[in-house]
Amino acid sequence: MLLGFAVLALLPFLVSDSYSRHILIMAFIYAIVASNWDLSLGYGGVFNFGHLALFGIGVYAYGLLTKFLGLDPWLALAASGVISTFAAILVTLPILRLKGIYIILVTFGFAQLVMQLVLSQSDITGGTQGMVRIESLYIPGHNLIRDQKLGYFYIALGILVLSTIFLRVLVRSKVGASIIALRDNEEYAVSRGISLARQRVITLAASAFFTGVAGAFYAAYQRNASVDVFGMSLSTIILSMVLLGGTSTIYGAIIASFVLTIFSESMADFGAWRPIITAVLIIAVMLVYPSGLAGAAQTMFRSLGRLRRNSTAAPAEASEPHTSR
């Protein structure tokens, strides 16, 4: 996978116009959000419907910190990540021991609540108009817009790399294994001493940090913020990236993000038909390929080299970090 990133790092030499780089930067941002969503959804088995709200919190946190507190943009970037993490912990508290549909409902409500909050505090957030002229990031002695957004490109890529490394390390660690164990066989994991509540908090908090940072970067890059980020359309698009890539595969989400962003941009001419076509795609994928493209690939591998699995092997599976649905 280092190869993949190396390729990405060299892309600016191939792709040198501002617009294409913009698309790639957006793809990077979406990839971060999507892969982090996969952490809680795919690996943790917790459907956090408010994940995009964490992104939105990052966006507005950055805007507010730089605008009203005059915080240094880089600090604000990191701080936004922290704030999103706190928000995630906050939303986890009510759903600590809830199951299935209730988690979805509460997190959905949370997302709506955050949006209402932002809208209602229109004095500082700009309400439906949003915030404009947000302070951007800077590298001393280098104008980021220069060279067709080269600077932004590498910063975005950098964040993506950090996020991916973080996710990979987490998933392969003991913490990651326990998260997966809880997803696969909750009763067993709990009986083995894994604390459901604690792991849930960790899962959601971990998924929030880089999402918030991505949000902050988005604000810094676009230099404005609007409540659209809390809308259903963005959630649907990012969710489709997670699903298309296949849940519980970090790279799947990233690749799907690229595919979908580029695909979506190439459809820009279709205007309002874009969300419609996206929606049709999601439905089609869900009907045909429940495990997403990555899942389909994995199924192929599995049937090629069939492992004889015993039905009583469930506990043993929990220690495998890459168990997929």
Partner 1 sequence: MDAAAQIFAGGLFQGSLYAVMAVGLALIWTTIGVFNFAHGVLMMLGAYVAWQLTELGLPFFVVLPLSVLLMAGFGWALQATVVRPLIGRPNIVLVVVITTLAAASLVENGALQIWGPRSKQLPALGDGNTMIFGVGISLHQLTIILVTPFVLLGLWLFLHKTRHGLALRAVAQNEDASLLVGLNVRALYGLAFAISAGLAALAGIFLGGYRFMSPVMGADPLLKALIVVVFGGLSSITGPIFAAYLIGFFEAICSYYFGLYWTPALLFAVLIVTLMIRPQGMFSSKTRGLA
The binding site for partner 1 (CB under 8 A) comprises 47, 94-95, 98, 100-102, 104-106, 108-110, 112-113, 116-117, 120, 232-233, 235-236, 239-240, 243, 272-273, 275-276, 278-280, 282-283, 286-287, 290, 325
d(CA 151, CA 207): 26
CB of 187 to partner 1, least distance (A): 17
d(CA 211, CA 82): 10
- 2 vs 287, beta carbon nearer partner 1: 287
For 163-196, letters b (16+ CB in 10 Å) and e give bbebbbebbeeebbbbbbbbbbbeeebeeeebee
With contact defined as beta carbons under 8 Å apart, do 54 and 212 qualify? Answer: yes
Greatest pairwise CA separation for the chain in angstroms: 63
Can you tell me whether residue 83 is helix, strand or coil?
A: helix
- 283 vs 314, beta carbon nearer partner 1: 283
Q: What single letter denotes the amino acid at residue 316? A: A
With contact defined as beta carbons under 8 Å apart, do 242 and 47 qualify? Answer: no
CB of 184 to partner 1, least distance (A): 12
CB of 293 to partner 1, least distance (A): 15
- 151 vs 275, beta carbon nearer partner 1: 275
Which residues does 26 contact at the CB level (< 8 Å), separation at least 6? 261
CB of 96 to partner 1, least distance (A): 9
- 82 vs 234, beta carbon nearer partner 1: 234
Which residues does 102 contact at the CB level (< 8 Å), separation at least 6? 95
CB of 179 to partner 1, least distance (A): 17
With contact defined as beta carbons under 8 Å apart, do 219 and 225 qualify? Answer: yes
CB of 195 to partner 1, least distance (A): 18
* Residue written as token pair 């919190």: 57
* Residue written as token pair 């067709």: 148
Which residues does 153 contact at the CB level (< 8 Å), separation at least 6? 12, 21, 24, 25
- 91 vs 206, beta carbon nearer partner 1: 91
- 104 vs 196, beta carbon nearer partner 1: 104
- 34 vs 239, beta carbon nearer partner 1: 239
CB of 212 to partner 1, least distance (A): 21
